[in-house]
Amino acid sequence: MIKLMSVNFDDCIPNWRTQLETIEYNVLVVVREGKVRYELNGEEMIAEKDDVLFIPQSTRRSGTNWNGIPHQKHTILFTMDRHEPTGIPFLDEGKCLKFNLSHIQYAYHRCERLYEEMRGDKSYRTMICLGIMQELIGMLARELEKTELAPSKRKYADTIKSYLLEHYRDPIEIESLAKLIHRSPNYATALFKEVHGHSPIRYMHQLRVLEACSLLLHSDMTIAHIAQYLGYYDTSYFYRIFKKYTGLSPSDYVLQGERPDISKLFT
């Protein structure tokens, strides 16, 4: 049986470090920004942005900021009954692992929700936290069952992703993305979906809607101005896209008061 101990969010802590010790719990680490250096059973492991790390109980572990540069990460500490197999291979094998998730943004939001619930006092908090934790473990187990991607595929998909992160406000055409990796448009679309779980155009809309959510809550820009700023020159189309990904119109999103759960953007 899995039992949560604590959920932490390390937000660019100067001089962050953990002493060398044999830990009596399991750790899931989800890195959001920067890099973190661990020594695990005498071997160095560097985890960076978008990496997920599993450190099993009884590991001899220490950690520091990589090259003294602060990082940002979620850390989940939990225990299990050593005598009862979970049926989850990576948990039962008890080996240190580092890997990537196709739906890393969704994982970020689940970690955020878990962090908030662990610090709250609402009814059924324990049940909800355990459910979120089980979902995260299931996502990781499913990811590890996938056939290992060829390094070239990962490289091509990441090239497209990096371009979209920098140019998501610009007009995006699949033909242009395909030229980045010298492949056909159909291949580029299928490859990106295989690696990241959705099409490049869907990812572009996700980035735009996330930015729109921030601007709606933290700027004085009008909805029409936000739409144009994000590359939607038809405001009604922006309304449809925003509602498709959040379940709310831009106006309702603002009126809701507190920030709604937008994790559905990444499912």
Quote the percentage of the chain above a pLDDT of 70.
Answer: 94
Query: Are residue 157 and residue 139 in the same domain, yes or no?
Result: no
pTM > 0.75: yes or no = no
pLDDT tens, 78-122? 998 877 888 888 899 888 998 877 778 888 999 999 999 998 888
Structural domain containing residue 177: 152-264
pLDDT of residue 136: 93
**Integer Cα distance of 90 and 78 in angstroms:** 14
Query: Are residue 7 and residue 138 in the same domain, yes or no?
Result: yes
Average pLDDT over every residue of 222-234: 95
Nearest to 196 by CA among 163, 244, 236: 163
pLDDT of residue 49: 87
pLDDT tens, 114-146? 999 998 888 999 999 999 999 999 988 988 876
Mean pLDDT of the chain: 89
Query: Are residue 243 and residue 138 in the same domain, yes or no?
Result: no
Nearest to 160 by CA among 195, 192, 196: 192
User: Does 220 have pLDDT greater than 70?
Assistant: yes
Stretch (H or E) spanning 104: helix 104-118
pLDDT tens, 178-203? 999 999 999 999 999 888 878 999 99
Query: Are residue 164 and residue 137 in the same domain, yes or no?
Result: no
Is residue 206 within 8 A of residue 105, CB to CB? The reply is yes
**Integer Cα distance of 164 and 231 in angstroms:** 13
User: Does 264 have pLDDT greater than 70?
Assistant: no
Is residue 40 within 8 A of residue 55, CB to CB? The reply is yes
pLDDT tens, 22-51? 999 999 999 999 999 999 999 999 998 888
User: Does 266 have pLDDT greater than 70?
Assistant: no
Query: Are residue 98 and residue 83 in the same domain, yes or no?
Result: yes
Domain boundary among 92, 116, 148: 148
Average pLDDT over every residue of 228-245: 94
pLDDT of residue 7: 95
Domain boundary among 119, 148, 177: 148
Query: Are residue 16 and residue 41 in the same domain, yes or no?
Result: yes
Domain boundary among 124, 148, 172: 148
Q: At what angle do helices 151-167 and 185-196 cross, to 10 degrees?
A: 100
**Number of structural domains, the chain?**
2
* Burial of 185 (C-beta count, 10 Å sphere; 0-12/13-18/19+): middle
- Torsion over CA: 202, 203, 208, 212 (sign): positive
Quote the percentage of the chain above a pLDDT of 90.
Answer: 66
pLDDT of residue 238: 96
pLDDT of residue 257: 60
DSSP E strand boundaries for 15-172: 17-22, 26-33, 35-40, 43-48, 51-55, 60-65, 72-79, 97-100
Q: For the domain that residue 224 is a member of, what is the CATH number?
A: 1.10.10.60
Query: Are residue 24 and residue 129 in the same domain, yes or no?
Result: yes
Q: For the domain that residue 55 is a member of, what is the CATH number?
A: 2.60.120.280
pLDDT of residue 106: 87
Nearest to 256 by CA among 210, 211, 202, 213: 213
